Structure 1
Amino acid sequence: MKKLMITTLVVVLGYVTPTSVINHALAQVQEQTQSVRVPAMRNRVYTQFARAQKIADEGNKAEGLAVLDSVKARISSLNEYERAMLWNFYGFMHYANDDLANAIANFNKVVAEQAIPQSLRLSTLYSLAQLSMQQEQYQQTIEYLTRWQAINTEPLTANQHVLFAQVYYQNKQYQQSLTSIERAIEIAEENSELAKENWLILQRANYYELGQPKQVTKVMEALVHHYSKPEYWLQLSGMYGEIGEQEKQLSVMETAYQNGFISKPQDIISLAQLYRLHHVPIKAAMLLSEAIDTGAIIANEKHLAMQAQAFIAAKESTKSIPVLKKAAEIAENGEFDAQLAQVYLNLAHWQLAIDAADTALKRGGVERTGNLHLIIGMAYFNLAKFNESLLAFKEAENITSSAKMAKQWTKYVEREQGQQLAMLARE
């Protein structure tokens, strides 16, 4: 199985309104931690923050930043909480300008202040984790999340567990990622909710990286059950094959085909191969016939050969003849003519077998030419043309791979010819 890609889920910080920021600030101004008292935000500072935010919200971000710069110019007069809120406003404005580096730098200044509300420290650390993940700085993300979790007194939500799982996965810490994503799924189940599709995909990816194919298969079963997509059916079939459950592999693949989930040429070929593997060649033949007739797969030499061999394996040799003829028309050698000769011989069409074998020899490119001489010899023998038969077997004796059988046939033909001549003499 190929390695599955994980789409990173990052909760977007968003660009907040003046009202939301200021109301949040006012709510935090009275908050105290266990060891540090948070100083109040003075009205003149609050007014400047509100003005900066309002200007930025109206579309003039540069002027909004200029207002913050004017506050920063008097930074020595600000208390710790006011400084933290200044960095916080800078952070949001830089984020709105897609300047992640400056956003992160300013949010780091927020948490560097000591006398700030715990809720501000928590939300800022979480935002720093999200921004670091956006920049694919996964180890840094883990460090922010670790600091955040150390002071967080609330149980993690499912989405927060997912964030942990995603960053652990990206940092190649697959067992930790698996633990986090499975806790998110448990929380969803506890609330009678369905685990989100991308959660299951992440769970599957972790099991894959940890080399646990049976667990991968279980997750694929859930994806098929809850999010029935064509690719999930095909992947589940592949996983059943990987863990040795071939009957389920075929059953799932066949169901996917019946539901119209199989349309790609390679998937059709895979299903045909599964039919052959499970000794139902007639289904393989009919599948390939339909696919070729509808244009789902190209009628090239490879596919026609598969179709013909499926018919032959299903003891439907007559149906293989037009397929082999079509393949012979486009082939550059006599390989399909040679196969036709064998089919004609098996069907007791002696002259057709001779003609096809002769054509194969003339066109060349046949791996086992000795077999063609054997076919010609057998066909002539059945036509009671003993001399022609013996000449063909003589040719076969000159080829190592067919010499032993040719000698046996030569003795047999000579004996039969002798007996016939003796009968004629008595008459």
Structure 2
Amino acid sequence: MNFTKRAMNVGVRSFLLALPVVAAQIVVSQTALGPVVSGIAEAQAQDAQPKQEQETRRTPALRNKVYEKLAEAQAAAEAKDLATAASVLDAMLAGRRDNELNSYELANVYNLYAFIHYSNEDYTSALQSYENVIKQPDIPLAMEINTRFTVAQLYFVQERWEQGIDALQKWFQMTDTPNATAYVLLAQGYYQLKDYNEALKNINIAIDDFDSKGKIPKEQWYNLQRFLYAELNMVDEATGTLRQLITFYPKKQYWVQLSFMYSEQNKEARQLGAMETAYVQDMLEKDGEYRNMASLFLNAEVPYKAAVVLKEGLAEDIVQDNSKNWELLAGALRQAQEVADAIPAMEKAASMSDDGDLYARLGNIYLDADQNEKAIEAITKGLDRGGVKRPDNARLVLGMAYFNTDQYAKARDAFRAAGRDERSKKYADQWIKYMNSELERQKSLAADAD
């Protein structure tokens, strides 16, 4: 695994598999139908229609004296005088004789009680009141449907996921036209129970429903879908969802995640393209993101662009001013044949390092630039300081620098020292042989001149 994939695996996979936004905002809202509250979550369930095969219910009438009391309680509730609203309802139920309130009237009383409890954030009592609404016989079918949807929502608010799913399934059984929001809510419940297959099935239904109507699915829905695909190792599908997110909600995080997904598929060119798109749109803003971008360019053998990214990051104080990053910049510049610019970068990297390895590498760059005296100085300093990873290589370069400055005895000593390491023995012997032949050639030329 290359540097870029390792870095992104550490930094991005946890980000990719984290669910940053819940899939469905569980919001219970109050909707007044005329002067009497008839159901919560009407806004969420308004597209649902009763199953047509169910026969029409004969609902008892709402009598005028009951209507007036309910209107009084509702007015107090809307004025946020919840205590007065509750006292009116309490009086309606206190000491009542059997059948004094019919089922529809009782349903509206409990419905308004539920609103009061919900407003006080007493979700348990609100839920019980809504359950009492459902228990009443012969209430309007639309009222029962809307109330069942709200019951499901309240279970979710209390993180009672299994009961919420059961309540929502009962709601589904009562309607022919469940809306996308209901499927999202169901998907959220299954997600919480880690039943990712069922969660995925339902979030896909919601997204497909919006797609079929030419509507753009919500960002949170795509995020849940993307998370579930990733958890189920459906890499191609997760990638497709990220492309949808980028199309409708173009944010940096999705370009970075898409780049990671392409790396998982070993599609290096697309991985680079996704990350570069984020870069050119000025979306990258962190040290790791700039270094990942530079590493992708290096892996794609485009070192000059890698150097541009690193220089920009260092100049803008995004990339950290440390030895490792200056070393990365120097390496990119050297690969790009920008040796003159690589030298000051590696000088800075070496000066910030605690060991001698970077001085040895600086000596290599000096040698490339034909600055042999500086090469000798840098490599000697590195070897004296210690910590050089390949001292044999450093001594080979030192020998070359001595040879280029006609310091043949020192060059021979350096080559012999390098040759004590089996990894460099062959090259050291070749250099000594070459130097000997060069000395013989020079001796012969001198003799002929005499």
* Alignment match, 1:162: 184
Give the % identical residues.
34
1:9 is the counterpart of 2:57: no
In structure 1, C-alpha distance between the alignment counterparts of 2:378 and 2:238, rounded to whole Å: 51
Q: Does the 8 Å CA contact 1:292/1:298 hold for their aligned counterparts?
A: yes
* Alignment match, 2:289: 267
**Matched residue type, 1:109:** N
Q: Does the 8 Å CA contact 2:382/2:388 hold for their aligned counterparts?
A: yes
Structure 2 residues not aligned, in runs of 5+: 1-12, 40-53
In the TM superposition, what is the alpha-carbon distance from 1:413 to its structure 2 partner?
3.6
Q: Does the 8 Å CA contact 1:10/1:130 hold for their aligned counterparts?
A: no
In structure 2, C-alpha distance between the alignment counterparts of 1:223 and 1:347, rounded to whole Å: 49
In structure 1, C-alpha distance between the alignment counterparts of 2:96 and 2:174, rounded to whole Å: 28
In the TM superposition, what is the alpha-carbon distance from 1:399 to its structure 2 partner?
4.5
In structure 2, C-alpha distance between the alignment counterparts of 1:35 and 1:14, rounded to whole Å: 27
Q: Does the 8 Å CA contact 1:271/1:284 hold for their aligned counterparts?
A: yes
* Alignment match, 2:214: 192
Q: Does the 8 Å CA contact 2:35/2:71 hold for their aligned counterparts?
A: no
**Is the alpha carbon distance of 1:349 and 1:212 closer, same or farther for their aligned partners in structure 2, counting shifts above 3 Å?**
same
1:290 is the counterpart of 2:312: yes
1:65 is the counterpart of 2:65: no
Structure 1 residues not aligned, in runs of 5+: 25-32
Q: Does the 8 Å CA contact 2:359/2:381 hold for their aligned counterparts?
A: yes
In the TM superposition, what is the alpha-carbon distance from 1:111 to its structure 2 partner?
1.6
Q: Does the 8 Å CA contact 2:207/2:221 hold for their aligned counterparts?
A: yes
**Matched residue type, 1:63:** T
Q: 2:407 aligns with which of 362, 370, 385?
A: 385
In structure 2, C-alpha distance between the alignment counterparts of 1:249 and 1:70, rounded to whole Å: 69
Q: Does the 8 Å CA contact 2:38/2:111 hold for their aligned counterparts?
A: no
3-state SS of 2:17 partner = coil
CA RMSD, aligned part only? Answer: 2.6
1:102 is the counterpart of 2:125: yes
Q: 2:134 aligns with which of 103, 111, 119?
A: 111
In the TM superposition, what is the alpha-carbon distance from 1:117 to its structure 2 partner?
2.3
1:130 is the counterpart of 2:120: no
1:85-120: CA deviation from partner (whole Å, max 9, x where unpaired): 322221111011111111011111222233322222
**Is the alpha carbon distance of 1:166 and 1:20 closer, same or farther for their aligned partners in structure 2, counting shifts above 3 Å?**
farther
1:90 is the counterpart of 2:113: yes
In structure 2, C-alpha distance between the alignment counterparts of 1:239 and 1:141, rounded to whole Å: 34
3-state SS of 1:343 partner = helix
**Is the alpha carbon distance of 1:192 and 1:265 closer, same or farther for their aligned partners in structure 2, counting shifts above 3 Å?**
same
**Is the alpha carbon distance of 1:123 and 1:75 closer, same or farther for their aligned partners in structure 2, counting shifts above 3 Å?**
farther
**Is the alpha carbon distance of 1:248 and 1:208 closer, same or farther for their aligned partners in structure 2, counting shifts above 3 Å?**
same
In structure 1, C-alpha distance between the alignment counterparts of 2:266 and 2:421, rounded to whole Å: 43
In the TM superposition, what is the alpha-carbon distance from 1:408 to its structure 2 partner?
4.4
**Matched residue type, 2:266:** G
In structure 2, C-alpha distance between the alignment counterparts of 1:62 and 1:319, rounded to whole Å: 77
* Alignment match, 2:374: 352
In the TM superposition, what is the alpha-carbon distance from 1:239 to its structure 2 partner?
1.8
1:279 is the counterpart of 2:294: no
In the TM superposition, what is the alpha-carbon distance from 1:143 to its structure 2 partner?
0.4
**Is the alpha carbon distance of 1:396 and 1:240 closer, same or farther for their aligned partners in structure 2, counting shifts above 3 Å?**
closer
Q: Does the 8 Å CA contact 1:22/1:46 hold for their aligned counterparts?
A: no
3-state SS of 1:388 partner = helix
**Matched residue type, 2:239:** T
Q: 1:48 aligns with which of 64, 69, 75?
A: 69
Q: Does the 8 Å CA contact 1:88/1:107 hold for their aligned counterparts?
A: yes
* Alignment match, 1:243: 265
Which fold has the larger relative contact order, with Cα–Cα distance below 8 Å and residues 6 or more apart in sequence? 2
**Matched residue type, 1:296:** I
* Alignment match, 1:180: 202
In the TM superposition, what is the alpha-carbon distance from 1:249 to its structure 2 partner?
1.8
In structure 2, C-alpha distance between the alignment counterparts of 1:156 and 1:35, rounded to whole Å: 19
1:292-322: CA deviation from partner (whole Å, max 9, x where unpaired): 1222212211111111111122222232111
In structure 2, C-alpha distance between the alignment counterparts of 1:315 and 1:250, rounded to whole Å: 22
In the TM superposition, what is the alpha-carbon distance from 1:267 to its structure 2 partner?
1.3
In structure 1, C-alpha distance between the alignment counterparts of 2:31 and 2:219, rounded to whole Å: 29
**Matched residue type, 2:17:** K
**Is the alpha carbon distance of 1:396 and 1:189 closer, same or farther for their aligned partners in structure 2, counting shifts above 3 Å?**
closer
* Alignment match, 1:364: 386
3-state SS of 1:159 partner = helix
In structure 1, C-alpha distance between the alignment counterparts of 2:78 and 2:438, rounded to whole Å: 105
Q: Does the 8 Å CA contact 1:111/1:124 hold for their aligned counterparts?
A: yes
More displaced 10-residue stretch of structure 1: 317-326 or 78-87: 78-87
In the TM superposition, what is the alpha-carbon distance from 1:397 to its structure 2 partner?
4.0
**Is the alpha carbon distance of 1:297 and 1:342 closer, same or farther for their aligned partners in structure 2, counting shifts above 3 Å?**
same
More displaced 10-residue stretch of structure 1: 324-333 or 5-14: 5-14
* Alignment match, 2:337: 315
In structure 2, C-alpha distance between the alignment counterparts of 1:329 and 1:127, rounded to whole Å: 67
3-state SS of 1:355 partner = helix
Give the TM-score normalised by structure 2.
0.85
In structure 2, C-alpha distance between the alignment counterparts of 1:63 and 1:282, rounded to whole Å: 75
Give the TM-score normalised by structure 1.
0.89
In the TM superposition, what is the alpha-carbon distance from 1:394 to its structure 2 partner?
3.3
Q: 1:34 aligns with which of 51, 55, 58?
A: 55
3-state SS of 2:144 partner = helix
Q: Does the 8 Å CA contact 1:52/1:68 hold for their aligned counterparts?
A: yes
In structure 2, C-alpha distance between the alignment counterparts of 1:210 and 1:197, rounded to whole Å: 20
**Matched residue type, 1:406:** A
Q: Does the 8 Å CA contact 1:111/1:121 hold for their aligned counterparts?
A: yes
In structure 1, C-alpha distance between the alignment counterparts of 2:247 and 2:58, rounded to whole Å: 54
